[in-house]
Amino acid sequence: MCGIVGYVGPKKALPILMNGLKRLEYRGYDSAGIALLMEDGLMVAKSAGKIARLEETLGDTDYDCTHGIAHTRWATHGEPTQLNAHPHTDEKCEIALVHNGIIENFRTLKEFLTRQGFEIKTETDTEILVHLIRFNYKGSLTEAVRIALPQVEGTYGIAVISSLHPGVLVAARMGSPLVIGHGEGENFVASDVSAMLEYTNRVVYLDDGEIATVTADEHNITTIQNVKITPQIEEVSWTLDMIEKEGYDHFMLKEIHEQSVTLRNAYRGRLNYDEGIPRLGGLNLQYDELREIKRVIITACGTSWHAALIGEYIIEELARVPVEVEYASEFRYRSPIFDDHTMLLAISQSGETADTLAALREAKKHGVTGLGLVNVVGSTIARETDGGVYIHAGPEIGVASTKAFTSQVMTLSLVATLLGRMRHLSVQQGQEILDFIQKIPDQVETILQAEEQIKEIATQYYQANNFLYLGRGINFPVALEGALKLKEISYIHAEGYPAAEMKHGPIALIDENMPVVVIALKDPVYDKVMSNISEVRARNGSVIAVATEGDTEIADRVNHVIYIPETFRLLTPLLSIIPLQLLAYHIAVMRNCPVDQPRNLAKSV
């Protein structure tokens, strides 16, 4: 949603904070700002737009200070202007604060503070926080934060500094992630580890309701009720090169090309071939407990929701267990029916998606076994679930998810195979599935070698205003994901539909100006999909088909064919999505769109 970084130590703070902001820019890039503690007080600089604009504002001045906070914003309250940018300060400019989250009762607090004589200058909810801390300040910055926060309803991750307390940074968290980086004679605070990975890989993850007082030499953590916490320092396994472009023009392109590696990482060390079964000890469930599961609910948002839809097909077919896929944003606000044999699986790349986390917590209130499928180790969902599986995709910087999606689908395939082996799948059937799984990375690499062909197709359609994506069965969610990728990064209106539903409305849109992407693989519904293609062609629509290698029939029926290798039918989404990711990427580049940072989007919301 927003990116926070803070530093206390002996080094110059400005370059550390600016480098951290650039690492976090995928979390928001509407505006940016920085607060440095100088000898004569706080220096605050802010600008609307991306971090490069903030650099222009700061100029070449060499600020010789070692203590500061910075922020890159994804706007929720107030337009992305310089005035609304963080950090926000109190009226005396003695306290500065950056915030990630939403204060839901900010209007009530604003009225209270106005009656107390505070002048509210911005449209943001964040400014209310800094004035509330000032109102409660009695000589201790930490205590002022501690007294102020119980009055707040909503979510926050905050970092606060004050000219009255040099060398002290106060951080607190409720619903928005914050990490403390543990250095040698220096400490860091950030929204995620990428901002500090250049300096340390030793971190402490703050939990909800915790406050940290951070100096160069130590960090003391307590609850809001002032109960002391003994933190556990963890070592991050990610390396700096994982968050660099490494010669690629964009992070998204790099991450598309990493998928042959990340898919292998998703199953590495998890396949027991002799028994034809995946080993997923992180689920924390014994085999007899897995057999007792009679119903699975998968909850997620965005791309993760599309992965969940694919998981529904795989689990129901391999394990014969009914699966419901729920938008987390809707699930959390209704009254779902649970029983003792229901398992909830929460999917989130970041492990911090607010709606997915809320859905998980709601399910756990009802005593449901809550499992997580996340990428980020130490994330909130990973810590709050009863068990789960890491997808091991590595850091994903591009806002439009690619490698995390395929790693989620791969991991769901492992879960489905495990559940199936606990029921009716034989050892031989399990081994056959594992064989297909192990071939997927090399098959992905084969598809990536067709990038130039896909790029050529993009040159013919990048000026289109609308796209339609069609798929059937397990590849219908792939059509949804392909359409989402295109509209996210190229700003072209695109819709995904089950191919058979085209005649129930979307067919009215088809003409010579409407490109239609069809996933037409050699599977049980192949002939049906071919009929759908004929319906499009009869109305002068242009068809781009994703087809199975060796299918010569389809070439005469469509305008363009992108072939993918043949695999087990339930694993085809792992291959069929790759051409759609590349097509979206190259169309966006040709339209001069900011691929890694599309407008109005942020990585983790």
Query: CB within 8 A of 184, min separation 6: which ones?
Result: none
Give CA–CA dist 216/184, Å, rounded: 8
Q: Is 364 a catalytic residue?
A: no
| CA–CA separation, 467 and 522 (whole Å) | 23
3 state DSSP class of 372: strand
CA distance 539 to 509: 10
Q: Own/partner pairs for 133-141, CB < 8 Å, 24+ apart?
A: 133/90, 133/95, 133/97, 133/160, 134/90, 134/91, 134/92, 134/94, 134/95, 137/95, 141/95, 141/165, 141/168, 141/170
Structure tokens of 356?
A: 């997915």
What does the H/E/C string look like for 497-556?
A: EEHHHHHHCHHHHCCCCCEEEEEECCCCCHHHHHHHHHHHHCCCCEEEEEEECCCCCHHH
Beta strands in 227-368 (DSSP E): 228-229, 234-235, 271-272, 277-278, 295-300, 323-327, 342-348
Evaluate the omega torsion of the peptide bond into residue 322 and state whether it is cis, within 30 degrees of 0. Answer: no
Q: What does the block give as tokens for 393?
A: 């995709």
Q: What residues does 467 pair with on adjacent strands?
A: 494
- Is 2 among the catalytic positions? yes
Measured distance CA(603)–CA(584) in Å, rounded: 18
> Interhelix angle for 403-421 vs 259-267, to 10°?
30
CA–CA dist 553, 15 (Å, integer)? 59
Cα gap 95→92, rounded to integer Å: 8
Beta bridge pairs of residue 564: 548
Number of helical H runs and strand E runs in the chain: 18, 27
Q: Is the dihedral of CA 586, 589, 595, 601 positive or negative?
A: negative
Instruction: Enter the tokens of residue 72.
Output: 């890159």
517, 482 Cβ separation under 8 angstroms: yes
Residue 400 parent element (H or E): none
- Residue 406 is inside which H or E element, if any? helix 403-421
Q: In what order do the strands lie in the sheet with 493-498?
A: 493-498, 466-471, 515-520, 542-548, 560-564
2, 301, 485, 593: the active-site residue: 2
Tokens of 100: 């990630």
Catalytic positions, please?
2, 603
